[in-house]
């Protein structure tokens, strides 16, 4: 069964040269959905080193994507978002990064940026890797954040020894409840740290 993505999935492609934050090359950022309320909230904003920009998934009035009671797991919105990988399936809103090189991912660093985002922050998440632009995925691991402190980087040790050119983070649960129409993942920063290799 192919990966099923929400209607309205958007991607952004950027070419970096001489950046302090990126190795030179073309990067593509994509998410299962993007909030359509207010200012843009595309997934590329988690990687732009700007604390005032965010990614937020889309929300549905009266049909939020994540449960309103503990453990606040993904329950699906108007469409069920799933990703198939070698040996299984994981459900939840996600964001992708396609790199101009391969990486052995060692650490992720993520941050939420305001009181509402703190409870929309990712509590549990699955990291997947791909070397064919997401046609197939391999499981890297299932992880959790121990805290959701506002404006503080939360680091997670990954220590993968497999090289991938694309990573997908699937958000499987959030930290807490909020109004039913905005129970969706939101974050302002995501950094990947690892060993890089030319393709």
Residue boundaries of the structural domains of the chain: 10-197
Average pLDDT for 6-17: 68
Is a pLDDT exceeding 90 seen at residue 6? no
CATH class for domain 10-197? mainly beta
Q: Which residues contact 19 (CB under 8 A, 6 or more apart)?
A: none
- Residue 162: the pLDDT is 98
Is a pLDDT exceeding 50 seen at residue 5? no
Mean pLDDT of the chain: 84
Q: Where do we find the tokens 């890297």?
A: 140
- Residue 8: the pLDDT is 42
- Residue 104: the pLDDT is 98
Q: Which residue has the higher pLDDT, 55 or 194?
A: 194
Is a pLDDT exceeding 60 seen at residue 144? yes
Structure tokens at 170: 């699937």
């Amino acid at each position: 069964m192919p990966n099923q993505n929400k209607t309205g999935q958007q991607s952004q492609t950027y070419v970096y040269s001489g950046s302090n934050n990126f190795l030179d090359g073309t990067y593509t950022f994509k998410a299962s959905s993007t909030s359509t309320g207010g200012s843009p909230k595309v997934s590329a904003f988690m990687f732009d080193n700007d604390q005032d920009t965010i990614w937020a998934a889309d929300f549905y009035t009266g049909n939020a994507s994540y449960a309103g009671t503990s453990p606040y797991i993904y329950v699906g919105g108007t469409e069920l978002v799933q990703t198939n990988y070698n040996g299984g399936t994981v459900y939840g809103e996600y964001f992708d990064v396609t790199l101009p090189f391969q990486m052995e991912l060692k650490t992720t660093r993520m941050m939420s940026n305001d009181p509402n985002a703190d409870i929309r922050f990712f509590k549990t998440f699955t990291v997947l890797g791909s070397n064919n632009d997401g046609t197939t995925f391999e499981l890297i691991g299932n992880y959790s954040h121990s805290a959701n402190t506002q404006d503080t980087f939360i680091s997670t040790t990954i220590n993968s020894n497999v090289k991938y050119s694309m990573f997908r983070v699937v958000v499987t649960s959030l930290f807490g409840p909020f109004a039913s129409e905005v129970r969706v993942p939101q974050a302002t920063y995501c950094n990947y740290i690892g060993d890089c290799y030319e393709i």
